[in-house]
Amino acid sequence: MPQPDARIKVRGARTHNLKGIDVAFPLGALTTVTGVSGSGKSSLVSQALVELVAAHLGHEIAAEGEDEGEALERAPSSPVGGRLATGTEGVKRLVVVDQKPIGRTPRSNLATYTGLFDHVRRLFASTKAARSRKYGAGRFSFNVAGGRCDTCAGEGFVMVELLFLPSVYTPCPTCHGTRYNAKTLEIEYRGKNVADVLGMTVDAAWEFLADEPHAHRSLGVLRDVGLGYLRLGQPATELSGGEAQRIKLATELQRSERGNSLYVRDEPTTGLHPADVGKLLTQLNGLVETGNTVVVVEHDMRVVSASDWVIDVGPGAGDEGGTVVAAGPPAEVARAHGSRTAPYLVRALAGD
């Protein structure tokens, strides 16, 4: 656990409209960065803080859970001026969570991204029928030849070329969209084949795999962030931005025990229904309780009022912004003069 007063101190942060500012982010706490649109929140958090910490750690920014070895791609941006003063000893790892798709091909899905599918494939391989046929876990993958449907190469659909019209995709005529060949689908675990499991929702799979502690727990985390309705096999390309972000968060939460990570999220409540914001807060607090540091750019005053520390950027947009208007616990920032956030924070703290 970090020292109570330990902070990541950024000195002279300068990029876009940031005016060479000094900012301190408490370690082992949930910090929200607020301010009007264009005030410089993303410049401060997603650019200055991320780039300075990444440069300090001297390694790639962790893109947790990305499958197929994809590195986190970040848009080239204007250079960041500034340096880190202290606090970096409390940060061993930097994780940036965003709303980018969790995979760019339909071969990636909720189950493969979270690692759950490895577990499911091993379960199928461990059945008596699979062992007698010498089917290993790889047999139950739709990404490698063997168990998958040969007609569509495990895609589940085929492209039909139409004269004078754009090509269209239709369900594969051989496997009818299941992605697997008939022999593979003969293997059942508790009366379900592997395609049936991919067709289950998170809620259904959570019940189905109740006796498998690891799978049950990771499915439980997905339920906790309001994703119980998603199907395990839903292609990553068909997930909404908010869904993708929550899947990344859920995947991180399963690994968060180690602590000493800095989590940075730009507007995590985007895509979340008000009813799900409380769940998100629970998850963010969970990261903090295990010794991690969380910094989020946030407009939702319920999250801001429940955070440990607020950094209000502004006072206005563009050239009128780029400075720290107020920083402190929510109750303190709520009393700050000249802060456009303060009046809203007052109301949120009063429970409105």
Q: Which residues of this protein are in contact with Zn ion, per CB under 5 A?
A: 149, 151-152, 172, 174-175
Select from 42, 181, 307, 339 the one that contacts Mg ion (CB under 5 A). 42
Name which of Zn ion, ligand ATP, Mg ion, none residue 43 binds, using a CB cut-off of 5 to 8 Å depending on partner kind.
Answer: ligand ATP
CA neighbours closer than 13 Å in the CB half-sphere of residue 1: 7
Between 42 and 245, name the residue whose CB sits nearer to Mg ion: 42
Return the residues of window 310-329 that contact ligand ATP according to CB under 6 A: 317-318
301 CB-near residues (< 8 Å, 6+ apart): 344, 345, 347, 348
Q: Does 241 bind ligand ATP (CB under 6 A)?
A: no
Return the residues of window 56-95 that contact ligand ATP according to CB under 6 A: 77-78
Query: x-or-dash pattern for ligand ATP, window 39-58, by CB under 6 A?
Result: xxxxx---------------
Q: Which residue has the tokens 């656990």?
A: 1
Query: x-or-dash pattern for ligand ATP, window 7-36, by CB under 6 A?
Result: ---------xx-----------------x-
**Cβ of residue 322: shortest distance to ligand ATP, in angstroms?**
7
Torsion of CA 42, 77, 80, 85, to 10 degrees: 60
117: number of Cβ within 10 Å: 25
Q: Does 265 bind ligand ATP (CB under 6 A)?
A: no
Q: Are 7 and 87 in contact (CB under 8 A)?
A: yes
Query: x-or-dash pattern for ligand ATP, window 183-222, by CB under 6 A?
Result: ----------------------------------------
Q: Are 262 and 89 in contact (CB under 8 A)?
A: no
**Cβ of residue 77: shortest distance to ligand ATP, in angstroms?**
6
How far is residue 218 from each of residues 22, 171, 222, 247, measured CA to CA in Å? 39, 30, 7, 11
Q: Are 218 and 116 in contact (CB under 8 A)?
A: yes
CA-to-CA distance for 235 and 35, rounded, in angstroms?
36
Q: Does 108 bind ligand ATP (CB under 6 A)?
A: no
- CA-closest candidate to residue 252, choices 220, 221, 228, 295: 221
Chain residues in the site for ligand ATP (CB under 6 A): 16-17, 35, 37-43, 77-78, 317-318
Chain residues in the site for Mg ion (CB under 5 A): 42
